Amino acid sequence: MFAKILIANRGEIACRVIKTAKKMGIKTVAVYSEADRDALHVALADESVCIGPAPSRESYLVMDKIIAACKQTGAQAVHPGYGFLSENAAFAKRVEEEGIVFIGPKHASIAAMGDKIASKKLAGAAKVNTIPGYNAAIETAEHAVEIAQGIGYPVMIKASAGGGGKGLRVAFDAKETFEGFTSCRNEARNSFGDDRVFIEKFVEEPRHIEIQVLGDAHGHCVYLWERECSIQRRHQKVIEEAPSPFLDDATRKAMGEQAVALAKAVNYQSAGTVEFVVGKDKSFFFLEMNTRLQVEHPVTECITGLDLVEQMILVAAGEKLAFTQAQIPRKGWAMECRINAEDPLRGFLPSTGRLVTFQPPATTMFASKPMPPDGGVRVDTGVYEGGEIPMFYDSMICKLIVHGSDRTDAIAKMREALNAFVIRGISTNIPFQAALLAHPRFASGNFNTGFIAEEYPKGFTADSVQHDKPVFLLALAAAANRRVLARSAGISGQLRGHELEIGRDFIIVHTDAAGVRTLTPVDVQAEGDLFTVVVGAETCAIRLDSVLRDVAVHGLVNGRPFSAQVERLMLAYRVMHDGAQLEVRVLSPRAAELIEWMPFKAPPDMSKFLLSPMPGLLVDVAVHPGQAVRAGEKLAVIEAMKMENILVAQRDGVVAKVLVGKGESLAVDQVILEFAPEAA
């Protein structure tokens, strides 16, 4: 067994590998860029080596620096994690040539399966069903359009070295094909250093189901069941679960055996994932193989009880698999939500900055530790409260994983965990995740990869979430306010005769974006930690178990447990539960009467400016002063968290000024250009 390994990655996955290595008694080496000097994975490792500036192309993607760090520290093996160099056959080969063990498949397997074009040809030769397409690199956008028209729309444009949703577009016509081809090549070149792109038929209403495989150097290979990954937004996974609510045992077995046959065809020796697109009739087609550990590997660990990182290390050290296919259990149901630094209310644009508050829900499961018999909650992360979310890397903050006795139990655990997860300082997709978990269609299991686009066609907005018991949100705000007043009334030294007296009658005031106020009378009675709130004809008996300072509150409502978030904002309360958010003031009847006389201050009109919707790097300004533009025309391109974001004109107009230049770093809401007054 290795005495010391180096993790050629950062963030959550680097921390994850370190935990298993420590369990196995193996010393660890972290590498880090200048932006990650204070990162959690650096603190957790036994040693650390700085490998260059913040951009990944100058640090985490530089093979020579990784190998030099191995030699400097005496690391005998390298675990690549996922992303970066994890599926780079040249890197695996270089590592092997230097006498260092690559904790992953052999470079020949990566070359055969990691290349999407080569893998499709190999799968076809192995009699695995493949999707119709053009499985060769395409050189020009014009040729791409010609091919797409031959296959028939819609088509999927994919980078050969792509993964994680990067270098991938779906096109429904020639214009989208032309533009998508160019964007895919650019993203692929920047993210993977390989700009080859191919095209295949896009199967409508598909399910994305993948099989986890594990092979050793002695000819043994097994499959560790499947993961359902159909809940996706723009081809990036949002929620994963195991097993799939769609498969029957016969289909599960057929897919597993086919995945193993494919892995054996390339002498696969490590953990890997064979991805399939599955039709509504349970027909399945090979999509691609990821020759690395997947982001969503924890759900497989939950249902099998296996530590996949440990298995990868054991296989790399030459050991045989310690179990057969028949000995692999499938217990309960697991789900994972990816918690990303993005603002769902602003089109999921990246959100970077300092984590002012980072308070995960109570955890009972831990990476690399044995599974508790009754399941629980696990959080895999590479961040900490007070740390910085840089703009140079992926947007994922952490992974929230739950394990339950069945799917209903897993959903209930995940909803409670999301409601209790407090992150402040940056925006996250937690409200969106909570809304998805509460959606009846998700609960039924009747969904496909188009679920999010179908259910949120205009994007995710505050109006997208309809809380099933809106009175509960009002009652919770009233109870929280009553508890604050009780604390104030208990402060000693109050002027005699002028002590704070708390009544029962309150008015909840909600003001919408247009300044329209809605007043809701409530009656609140308190007995210790029990608050009885009457809203109209409904009564909510709320018992709060959390202390006053906690944003995440837990308790009972009408005898049923709940978790929610209540935050004081000056004179207002913000209440969040199941993805819904409500901001209100809880006032005395007299104060509510007086507030009606207060004028509403509308936000300033910024329509004549193009503002940066996120922090990022301005990689292109497509217009100049005096240029007339039409609605939908490209104005600028911002790169953030490894993704290109194209900003387009919302209406026809004329550009008056361009205030920033290509190559500048932008802050959120920074003005990029100004339109002439007539365009406003």
Residue pair 15/30 in contact (Cβ under 8 Å)? The answer is no
HSE-up (13 A, CA, CB side) for residue 365: 30
611 to 46, 60, 353: CA distances (angstroms): 44, 31, 18
Measured from the Cβ of residue 233, the count of other Cβ atoms closer than 10 Å reads 21
Q: Which residues contact 367 (CB under 8 A, 6 or more apart)?
A: 16, 19, 20, 298, 301, 307, 309, 378, 380
Task: Determine the Cα angle at 275 with ends 439 and 335, to 5°.
Answer: 35
To the query of whether residue 288 is one of the catalytic residues in this protein, the response is yes
Q: Which residues contact 419 (CB under 8 A, 6 or more apart)?
A: 434, 552, 562, 563, 564, 565, 576, 577, 578
The catalytically annotated residue of 288, 301, 336, 416 is 288
Which of 246, 294, 296 lies closest to 270 in space, CA to CA? 294
Task: Determine the Cα angle at 205 with ends 465 and 142, to 5°.
Answer: 110
HSE-up (13 A, CA, CB side) for residue 142: 0
**What single letter denotes the amino acid at residue 632?**
G
Q: What is the dihedral of CA 576, 577, 578, 581, to 10 degrees?
A: -30
**What single letter denotes the amino acid at residue 497?**
G
Q: How far apart are the C-alpha atoms of 633 and 657, rounded to whole Å?
A: 17
Residue pair 209/193 in contact (Cβ under 8 Å)? The answer is no
The kind and range of the H/E element at 334 are strand 333-340
Beta strands in 428-559 (DSSP E): 505-511, 517-527, 530-535, 538-544, 552-557
Residue pair 637/620 in contact (Cβ under 8 Å)? The answer is yes
The kind and range of the H/E element at 70 are helix 63-73
Which of 275, 241, 239 lies closest to 255 in space, CA to CA? 275
Tell which phi-psi region holds residue 484, choosing left (phi > 0), alpha (psi between -120 and 50) or beta. Answer: alpha
Instruction: Write out the two tokens for 616.
Output: 């990022």
| Residues with active-site annotation | 288
